[in-house]
Structure 1
Amino acid sequence: MTSDPKNPPLGKTASSLARLYAPQIKGKAVLTTGVSPSGLGAVFITAIAKSEPSLLILAGRNVAKIQETVQTLVAETSDSPVAIRILELDISSLDAVRNAANTVNGWTDIPHIDVVVSNAGIMAVDYKVSPEGHESQFATNHLGPFLFTNLIMGKVLASPAPRIVMVSSNGHRLCPIRFHDYNFQGGETYNKWQAYGQSKTANMLMAVSLAQKLGSKNRLLSFSLHPGVILTNLGAHLDWKTAFPLMNELDRFLGNREAQMTSLPLITPEEGAATYVFAAFDPDLSTHNGSYLTKCGVADPWVDTLKPWATSSVEAERLWKLSEELVGQEFVY
């Protein structure tokens, strides 16, 4: 069964779409970053595990938390066990990323990885820097995934139908890439929401770059997505009553301060992770390579208020060059 990306399927939960796309999921090796219990990454892999993927690679910094997710997976797929492998990956550290990529590339028993879902990330944290000295949200949400994805690209391109999914956000509307000052003058001009917006813009531009560089020649499909507004541990450190008024782009949507919490268009984790399943497996997305997805469909630039700075091929190439400079390695395809 197939679907029209411009007319998303009904019953939009991760589990229902996993059943819909069972033929596309069966036999696939899927690597997902950020799979702590109760997070969207965990919801995604738990949903697709029942559709017989050949392998689920669970990557994250905290191995103990990954083990908790594994226990849930094992319990829920006891009738049809799925192969699982754990990868220790601290996406905020470029050295750790290289070590993890070396581990993946050294798995001789895994000839290819069909789908990579880059889900790990942080949101609106106070100013700090990565081990290499880069602003932490830019480092964790973009530079780490950029390096990791490119370092394991050989495994990905060995798949007959490779696909990469970058989890972005409508938060991209908060800030373009600050090419003049991506590090916020060492914290002097730091605004945590602008930094978050910059990193989410970077996710979208990376999907654009991958589609342009590897789409026609290597059949790679690459997408970014907005899962929706969901209360997960990602924002557990935030006081949403004061956070949203700081976000001018969302003020217009929320209407007024008194209605902040009652007006939030909250959806469930199952509904949010549905767009992950859609992005990773929908068979009819090939004509929309590089697109930004939301609500299990291709986003409408006007209805979904996409900012041109996050969809520009010129900005995408400019970011690619900056990213290569910052990670200290070029990737020519």
Structure 2
Amino acid sequence: MSAEKKTASSLAQHYAPQIEGKVVLTTGVSPSTLGAVFVHAIAKSKPALLILAGRNMAKVQETAKALDAENVKTRTLELNLGSLTDVRAAAATVNGWADVPYIDVLVNNAGVMALDYGVSPEGHENHLAINHLGPFLFTNLIMDKVLASATPRVVMVSSDGHRLCPIRFDDVNFKEGKSYNRWQAYGQSKTANMLMAIALAETLGPKKLEAFSLTPGPGATPSHLVDHIDWSVQFEEMLKVDRFFGNWQGWLTEFPMCTPDEGVAVYVVGAFDEAIADTYNGAYLYDCRPANPWTETVKPWATSSVEAKRLWKLTETLVGQEFQY
């Protein structure tokens, strides 16, 4: 592809040979979300099956219905990532699909951003629960189906918002809300997404699994993820966290923007590009390529194998299940 701005729709055409015949499970696919933009883009390239997962089944069904015009086979899955009990039920459903013996690509796209303090049914801070614990458990519970693919791949949708916080290993729940900061909570969960990709690549790379994390963009991408945010208040709160860490973003007055089709282009690369697999397994992708830590926001706390292993062990404790590979 050229150096011009890339889009998901154009890249889906470019990677059509890799997309054709694939079974792809994507979480967070309500209409007008980035997940929906992604599945609509790849639908034109003849995947064998698009599995559409989300908490609100009416919205998931709406996306499925919209895909009918593409003449692509779809299946829907109710998946509430905020409840570990519900995650286990959804994974059991997938594992019970005898007519779907493998999943080629799992795109963990669903997430939340800058919520007021709250906890999951199991008592975990909501960003951590929905953005990390749920995807971690779901991914590992259906891993046998992923590994049954000839080209197994997991994509973790992270964010350059990982710059806002490392993993707070001794206080991941912000002292039951007493020390809570919505932007740090979001940043911690996005760091977790990057570390999970590293851990998957290192643990299951020998079994041919490819795993990547990514940030949509470049530039902020319009999404319903931020519909609840009062930017007249929260923009300055975010800048305060950036300034604390000395991030250049702390002195911005606005963020550069890109279209949803541009923002999701990197999803297509993460899910289907074959060239990045061997050399860059576990990498964090920016602007449709492995990010350059010298010129782009890539925090070392999100690229450390030590931190990845440590988080894996902590997460197993938090979800109450170990995964031996």
Quick check: TM above 0.5? yes
Q: Which residue of 2 aligns with 1:70?
A: 64
Q: Tell me the secondary structure at the aligned position of residue 117 of structure 1.
A: strand
Which residue among 28, 53, 59 is the counterpart of 2:47? 53
Distance in 2 (CA, whole Å) between partners of 1:90 and 1:234 is 16
Which residue among 295, 301, 316 is the counterpart of 1:303? 295
Q: What are the Cα deviations for residues 53-81 of structure 1, in whole angstroms up to 9, with x where unaligned?
A: 00000000000001111121112x1xxx1
Q: Which residue of 1 aligns with 2:182?
A: 192
The reply on whether 1:292 has 2:265 as its aligned counterpart is no
The reply on whether 1:28 has 2:22 as its aligned counterpart is yes
Shift of 1:255: 6.9
Q: Which TM-score applies when normalising by structure 2?
A: 0.95
Shift of 1:254: 5.2
**Inter-CA distance 253–240: structure 2 relative to 1 (3 Å threshold):** farther
Q: Which residue of 2 aligns with 1:156?
A: 146
Q: Which residue of 1 aligns with 2:256?
A: 265
Q: Which residue of 2 aligns with 1:204?
A: 194
Which amino acid in 1 is paired with 2:222? L
Q: Which residue of 2 aligns with 1:37?
A: 31
**Contact 2:82–2:134 (Cα < 8 Å) also in 1:** yes
Shift of 1:43: 0.2
Which amino acid in 2 is paired with 1:241? S
**Contact 1:9–1:296 (Cα < 8 Å) also in 2:** no
Q: Which residue of 2 aligns with 1:171?
A: 161
Which amino acid in 1 is paired with 2:290? V
Shift of 1:231: 2.1
Distance in 2 (CA, whole Å) between partners of 1:185 and 1:249 is 18
Q: Which residue of 2 aligns with 1:145?
A: 135
Gap runs ≥5 in structure 1: none
**Contact 1:123–1:235 (Cα < 8 Å) also in 2:** yes
Shift of 1:264: 1.6
Distance in 1 (CA, whole Å) between partners of 2:314 and 2:37 is 33
Which amino acid in 2 is paired with 1:328? G
The reply on whether 1:329 has 2:321 as its aligned counterpart is yes
The reply on whether 1:84 has 2:89 as its aligned counterpart is no
Distance in 1 (CA, whole Å) between partners of 2:203 and 2:225 is 31
Distance in 2 (CA, whole Å) between partners of 1:94 and 1:254 is 35
Q: Which residue of 1 aligns with 2:216?
A: 227
Distance in 2 (CA, whole Å) between partners of 1:255 and 1:213 is 36
Q: Which TM-score applies when normalising by structure 1?
A: 0.93
Q: Which residue of 2 aligns with 1:245?
A: 236
Q: What are the Cα deviations for residues 266-287 of structure 1, in whole angstroms up to 9, with x where unaligned?
A: 1111011100001000110111
Which amino acid in 2 is paired with 1:320? W
Distance in 1 (CA, whole Å) between partners of 2:123 and 2:150 is 38
Which amino acid in 1 is paired with 2:313? K
**Inter-CA distance 154–254: structure 2 relative to 1 (3 Å threshold):** closer
- Count, aligned residues: 318
Distance in 1 (CA, whole Å) between partners of 2:207 and 2:68 is 34
Which amino acid in 1 is paired with 2:322? E
Which amino acid in 2 is paired with 1:220? L
Shift of 1:318: 0.3
Q: Tell me the secondary structure at the aligned position of residue 134 of structure 1.
A: coil
Q: Tell me the secondary structure at the aligned position of residue 23 of structure 1.
A: helix
Q: Considering Cα pairs closer than 8 Å and 6+ residues apart, tell me whether 1 or 2 has the greater RCO.
A: 1
Q: Tell me the secondary structure at the aligned position of residue 267 of structure 2.
A: helix
The reply on whether 1:278 has 2:272 as its aligned counterpart is no
The reply on whether 1:314 has 2:306 as its aligned counterpart is yes
**Contact 2:183–2:241 (Cα < 8 Å) also in 1:** no
Distance in 2 (CA, whole Å) between partners of 1:148 and 1:264 is 33
Q: Which residue of 1 aligns with 2:113?
A: 123
Q: CA RMSD in A?
A: 1.4
The reply on whether 1:18 has 2:9 as its aligned counterpart is no
Q: Tell me the secondary structure at the aligned position of residue 51 of structure 1.
A: coil
Q: Tell me the secondary structure at the aligned position of residue 120 of structure 1.
A: coil
Distance in 2 (CA, whole Å) between partners of 1:135 and 1:296 is 31
**Contact 1:172–1:310 (Cα < 8 Å) also in 2:** yes
Distance in 1 (CA, whole Å) between partners of 2:232 and 2:280 is 37
**Contact 1:121–1:140 (Cα < 8 Å) also in 2:** yes
**Inter-CA distance 284–254: structure 2 relative to 1 (3 Å threshold):** same
Which amino acid in 2 is paired with 1:268? T
Distance in 2 (CA, whole Å) between partners of 1:319 and 1:127 is 22
Distance in 2 (CA, whole Å) between partners of 1:255 and 1:120 is 26
Q: Which residue of 1 aligns with 2:85?
A: 95
